[in-house]
A = this chain, B = another copy of it.
Amino acid sequence: MDNMIKLAIVGYGNIGKAVEEAVKNSDDMALSGIFHHNDNMNDINADVVALCTPTREVQFFAEKFAKRGICTVDSFDIHNQIFDLRSTLIPLNKESCSVSIIAAGWDPGSDSVVRTLLLALAPKGITYTNFGPGRSMGHTVAAKNIDGVKNALSMTIPLGTGIHRRMVYVELEDNADFSCVEKNILSDDYFAHDETHVIKVPSIEELNNVAHGVNLIRAGVSGKTHNQRFEFNMEIDNPALTGQVLVSCARAAVRLRDEKRFGSYTMIEIPPIYMLPGDEEQIIRTLV
């Protein structure tokens, strides 16, 4: 028990619950507390905190724990702000002797590792990341914000070469006019650039499904040799995978801390073996 990694959860929605399950299935970890994001966290006693809050609250908590010398993992997913979050956290982590692993979900996250690996295998070429079928949180929120929409679900459908169709299911407010709602969705900046279909349904709740998928393709050149072809596919339960990635990266964060390599890291900056429990020799003999 003394050798166990003590992990606390902050934020207890879908992802927080998935982290709880993944920790309970990890022989090298103990759950040291679950905190709602507005709880008092002064008495958190953990090696590492999994930040399972909405993404816009991640930086606040990551800074707070980094200042206290507690490691964190998060699945911050605003791609163009990841480098800046890392830059903000690095000096705090170094000052307090802690490690933050950021953007540790599946995209950004494990897909980023695959994209990096494929670029190393074929440095010239094009990578396409095709998402879905699965729910897009950002597009769902945008659709919910349209006047007359009571509830909505925007599904991302991959059409290949990184092009996506949006299937937007809407449950209307009483007296709302569907053709007006449809027109406002189609002209919203979130939807105006993609093929979008708006479909009226009696109940969004009936469509609820947290499945998601990725089809990541690279055709490229190794040395001077063209036509090198690579493909990574997955069909997964979205929160379960995100929770598991957070837990695997929590293990890596504690290892980096123990090696005194304090700082903030994205997943492409950490050795993949650090995410696995168990004996190094056994892992190398089995996987390599």
Contacts and interface: CB of A to CB of B under 8 A. Distances in A.
Given A116-B272, A288-B112, A236 B248 contact: no
A120 interface: yes
A117 B241 contact: no
B266 A83 contact: no
Q: Can you list the 10 inter-chain pairs with the closest CB atoms, starting with the nearest?
A: A225-B240, A21-B223, A222-B244, A120-B275, A22-B223, A120-B248, A116-B272, A231-B233, A112-B288, A222-B240
B233 A230 contact: yes
A103 B287 CA distance: 12
Interface in A198-249: 221-225, 227-237, 240-241, 243-245, 247-248
Interface SS majority for chain A: helix
A271 to B, nearest CB: 5
Contacts of A232: 114, 230-233
Given A268-B284, A272-B116, A273-B268, A237 B241 contact: no
Interface string A270-282: 1111011100010
Interface residues of A, number: 68
Contacts of A22: 222-223
B222 A237 contact: yes
A234 B234 CA distance: 15
A35 B208 CA distance: 62
A22 to B, nearest CB: 4
Nearest to A247: B223
18 contacts: A21-B223, A25-B124, A79-B288, A112-B288, A113-B113, A116-B272, A116-B275, A116-B283, A116-B287, A119-B276, A119-B287, A122-B241, A222-B243, A227-B237, A231-B232, A231-B234, A267-B288, A269-B273
A120 B272 CA distance: 8
Copy total for this chain = 2
A18 interface: yes
A86 interface: yes
Contact of A244 (B18, B106, B123): B123
A79 B287 CA distance: 9
A137 interface: no
Interface in A136-169: none
A121 interface: yes
A244 B223 contact: yes
B236 A228 contact: yes
